[in-house]
Structure 1
Amino acid sequence: MMKPSLQPSPIHRRTLAFPAAVAASVLVLSACGAAPGMDAGPVAGTPSDTAGSSPAGEGGRAKESRAPVPRLVLTHSDGVSVLDAKTLAPVAEVPLEGFTRVNQAGDGRHVLISSGDAFHVFDSGVWTERHGDHGHSYAGVPQLTGRAFDASEAGHVVSHAERTALFNDGSGKVEIFDPATLPDALRTGLPATTAYTAPEAHHGVAVTLEGGQLLVTLGDDGGRTGLALLSAPAGEDGQERAELLRNEDCPGVHGEAVAGKGTVVVGCEDGMLVYRDGAFTKVASPDPYGRMGNQAGSPASPVILGDYKVDREAVLERPTRISLVNTATGALQLVDLGTSYSFRSLGRGPAGEALVLGTDGVLHVVDPETGVEIRSLPVVPAWEEPEIWQDPRPALFVQGSMAYVTEPAGSKIHAVDLTSGRVVKSGELRHVPNELTGVSG
C-alpha cells in the first residue's frame, strides 16, 4: 500500500469547509431541547471573535452558572448530540456527515471530533475560569468552532502531562499542543504545536511525558512492534527529538493507558508493555496469543484493566475474561466475568474500581487488587456485540462518581451513581447513540 506523502506544515490553521447541508445548519436548538436553567439560544456554528472565550448564547454571550456544568457528547449517524450530564436533558444537535469519533481535548471544555482528514475542534460551551481559591463557571451554546487540525487518517488522541497528542495513522505524524492554550488560540486559529513524524506510517499512538519526552509506537503498514522513548523537542524550530530508548517486544501494539501518577502502558498480542521510571518492562500473557489491546487506567490505582483475547483467527472474539496488570509488581490476573463485553465496555471508578459493561446488560464492578467482583449493577437489556466495530453498541463513559451507559437498542442513556450503586437517571435520545465522551465544564 502506498503511504501518503507528508506536506511540511508545522502548524495547521484550518477553517473548516463542511458540506453544504452541514454548513447551512451546523447547530439547531429547540426550546424543549435546552438544558434546564439555560434558554435556547440562536443558531450557532460559525467561528466568531468570541470563539475562544464565550460561545454564542443569548445576546451572543454565555451565562455564568453557580457551579461547573458538565456535559456529554455523543456521536450518531447524523452528527453529534450534546446532553446536560446532570439531568441527561438534550442541549444541542449538531449535524455532521460521515462516521466520526469523539475525544476529550484535555481542557475540560473542548472535544476533538475525528473524521478521517481532520481533528475538528468542538466547543461544548461550558468552562470554568479559575481565580485563586475560587472559580467562575459559564454555560453557553455548543458549537463547531470552524477550526481543525489537518490529518491523514485521524487516529488516537491522548492527553497526558498537560499536553495533548494527535496521531495521524496515514502519515505517522504526531502533533502536540498545550490544551490550556486552546480557548484563547481559537479566537484566530489553532494553538502552537510541536510535531514528530514516525519513520513509517502505521496505526499508532503517542503519549507525552513530564519534561516534554514522548512515547511513540513503532511500526509500519506491515505491523507494529513496540515503543520508543524520545527526548523533549530541541533545535532551532523546536521540532527535533532524539531516540533515548526502545522496546520491540510488543507485537501488534495497540491502545494506551496511564496508571497511578505516570506509568504508561500499551497492549500487545502477547501481554502488556509497561513504561515506568525510565525503563520498559514486559508483562507476558500466559497464552502464546493473549491480546490486551484495549486498556483503562486510573490515577488512583497502579493496576491497569485490559481486555483479553486468545483466538488470533477469530473474525470477532467475544471474550469473557479481563486482565488486571499491576504495573508496580508486574503481577497479572485473569478474571472470568461469565459474560462477554466490547472495547467500549471498560472504565474505572473514582477509587480505581475496574468497571466492565457486560453483554448481560450488567455493569460489573471489580476490585483491581484482588480481582473479586464486589458489585453487579443491572443497567441495560442483554445485547450482542456487532461484528463491524463502527456499528453502535452500548458504551461506557465515567466522569467522577457517575458512570454513563448508552442503550442503542432503545435510543436511551442511563446515569449510574457508583457511590450508591443505583441508576439515578435515564434519558431518551433522538438518535441511536454510538461513541460517548464528556467534559467537566
Structure 2
Amino acid sequence: MLRQRTTRLGVTATIAGLAFLLSACGTSAEAPGTAAPNTAGRIAVSHPGGISVLDGTTLELVKSFDSEEFTRLNPAGDGRHVVVTTTAGFQLLDMNEPKLTDLVVDAKAPGHVVRHAGNTVFFDDGSATTTIMKSADLAKSTEKLPAAQSYQAPAPHHGVSIVLEDGTLLTTAGDKSSRTGAIAFEAHEDHWHAITENKDCPGIHGEGTAADEAVVFGCEDGALLYHHGSFEKFTAPDKYGRMGNVFTSSTSPIVVGDYNNNPDAEGYLLNAVVLLDTEKHSYKMVKLPKDVNYTFRDIARGPDGLAYILSTDGSIHVLDPADGTIVNEFPVIKAWEGPVEWQDAHPAIVINGNTAYVTEPASSTIHAVDLTTGKVGTSVTMDAVPNEIALNVAAH
C-alpha cells in the first residue's frame, strides 16, 4: 500500500532527557458529543476486514472499504477525516469523498488520537512519538500530510498527548513496564522545555478536557488534573480504584470517568463512575443501579453536559453529573452481555448534537436515537457485524 510518510527536519535537542523534532512533509478530545454539532455528518463503522461510511441522517451506506481484520476509529477533529489505526500507522479516511486515502502518519503501534484547540495529536505507543498537526491543515490535505511538530519521549509506553490553547504540551511519562504520570512542556524554537511534572499517577490512561480547559487523566488509584499551570492528584476511595477512560463536555466543569476497583475481575463490565468537579476540586465515586453495567465504549457526553450510559439492559441511562443521579432512561436495543476481550464487538454509543448513534452487534444494526425524546428514529441493518464507530465532527 502506498503511504505518505512524515519526514523529520531540524535539530535535535535534549531537555530533561527528552528530544524535540520539527517535521514536515511538504505542502499539498474532545470526546464525541462535546464538539459543536456537525449537522448530520457521516458515520464510520468498523467491522471484520472492513470499514463502512454511513449517511448521518438516513444511516444508508455511502461506501465500504476493505481494511484489516480489526481496526480502531477516531475522529480527526477536522470535520473531514476519521483516523483508522492499522499496522502501518494512523491512516486517514476521507469521509467527504469518501475515500480510504494513502495518507498515513507512520507509527509502530498507533494509539490515542486527541483533538483539541485546533490541533490533532497522534501518539505512537511503539516509539513514544507525539505528532502534532493543525486540524485545519489536515482538513485540506489530499495528496500530502501537512507540516507536523513532533516530540520524542525517552521510552515507548501506552500514552497520550494533548496541546492546549497556549501551546502547552501535556504528555504521559512511562515505559513498557509502568506508567507513572504526566509532564507539561512549553515549546521553544528548537526544543520543549519542561514546566512541571507529576509522578503520582500509576497506570496513567485516558485524557479529557472539561470547561475552562481543565485536563484530566485517569490513574489506577484516582485521577490527575492539570489546570492553570499545575497538577493536582485525586485519590480513589479504594486502594485500587482505576479510572481508565475520561468523558468530558467543553461546557461542563464536571468530568465523568469509568471506575474499576477490582483488578482481578473477569470481563470488562463496570457498575460505577467517577465524578470529578474541576471547579470545586472534588472527587467522588458513584455506584450505579445494579442493572446499569457498561464498558469503555458505552458512555458519551451529550446535550446539557449530561452523560449517556448505554447499559447491558439495552437502555441508555441518562446521568446528571451534578449529583450522579439517573434522570431518564431510553430503551434502545436488546439486553446484551459484556465482551470476553475488549476488542470483541459489543454495543457502543457516540453522540453528535441531539442524536446518539448506537451499535447493536447481535443484530448487525445501527440505531439513531433522538436524545430530546428518547425515541429511535432510524435503524439500519448492516451486512457485517459493527464494532467501532466514529463521527467526522470538528473539535473545539
1:277 and 2:248 aligned: no
- Alignment RMSD (CA, Å): 2.0
Q: Secondary structure at the match of 1:409?
A: helix
Deviations 1:287-330 (A, max 9, x none): 11111101110012111111110112224353211111111112
Query: Which residue pairs with 2:102 in the alignment?
Result: 146
Query: Which residue pairs with 1:247 in the alignment?
Result: 198
Distance 1:183 1:224 in 2: 33
Query: Which residue pairs with 1:77 in the alignment?
Result: 48
Letter in 2 for 1:415: A
Displacement of 1:80: 0.5
Query: Which residue pairs with 1:58 in the alignment?
Result: none
Query: Which residue pairs with 2:288 in the alignment?
Result: 336
Q: Cα–Cα, structure 1 residues 411 and 264, in superposed 2: closer, same or farther, change >3 Å?
A: same
Letter in 1 for 2:326: E
Select 1:223's aligned residue among 171, 178, 182.
178
Distance 1:315 1:86 in 2: 38
1:196 and 2:151 aligned: yes
Select 1:176's aligned residue among 119, 124, 132.
132
Query: Which residue pairs with 2:306 in the alignment?
Result: 353
Query: Which residue pairs with 1:234 in the alignment?
Result: 189
Letter in 2 for 1:279: S
Deviations 1:113-147 (A, max 9, x none): 1113311111001xxxxxxxxxxxxxxx3101211
Q: Cα–Cα, structure 1 residues 265 and 227, in superposed 2: closer, same or farther, change >3 Å?
A: same
- Higher RCO (CA-CA < 8 Å; seq separation 6+): 2
- Contact kept in structure 1, 2:77 and 2:393, CA below 8 Å: no
Richer in strand (by share): 2
Query: Which residue pairs with 1:101 in the alignment?
Result: 72
Distance 1:233 1:385 in 2: 47
Displacement of 1:12: 6.7
Distance 1:358 1:295 in 2: 17
State the structure with more CA Rg: 1
1:396 and 2:385 aligned: no
- Contact kept in structure 1, 2:8 and 2:24, CA below 8 Å: no
Query: Which residue pairs with 1:137 in the alignment?
Result: none
Letter in 2 for 1:282: K
Gaps of 5+ in 1: 1-6, 15-51, 53-66, 126-140
Distance 2:153 2:57 in 1: 42
Distance 2:330 2:139 in 1: 38
Letter in 2 for 1:271: G
Distance 1:265 1:228 in 2: 13
- Contact kept in structure 1, 2:79 and 2:139, CA below 8 Å: no
Q: Cα–Cα, structure 1 residues 119 and 233, in superposed 2: closer, same or farther, change >3 Å?
A: farther
TM-score under structure 2 length normalisation: 0.88
Letter in 1 for 2:276: V
TM-score under structure 1 length normalisation: 0.80
Letter in 1 for 2:154: P
Distance 2:279 2:389 in 1: 31
Displacement of 1:335: 3.3
Misfit runs of 4+, over 6 Å: none
Letter in 1 for 2:184: L
Percent of residue pairs identical: 42
Letter in 2 for 1:354: A
Query: Which residue pairs with 1:406 in the alignment?
Result: 359
Worse-matched range after superposition: 360-369 or 416-425: 416-425
Query: Which residue pairs with 2:164 in the alignment?
Result: 209
Distance 1:97 1:72 in 2: 18
- Contact kept in structure 1, 2:222 and 2:241, CA below 8 Å: yes
- Contact kept in structure 1, 2:161 and 2:172, CA below 8 Å: yes
- Contact kept in structure 2, 1:155 and 1:203, CA below 8 Å: yes
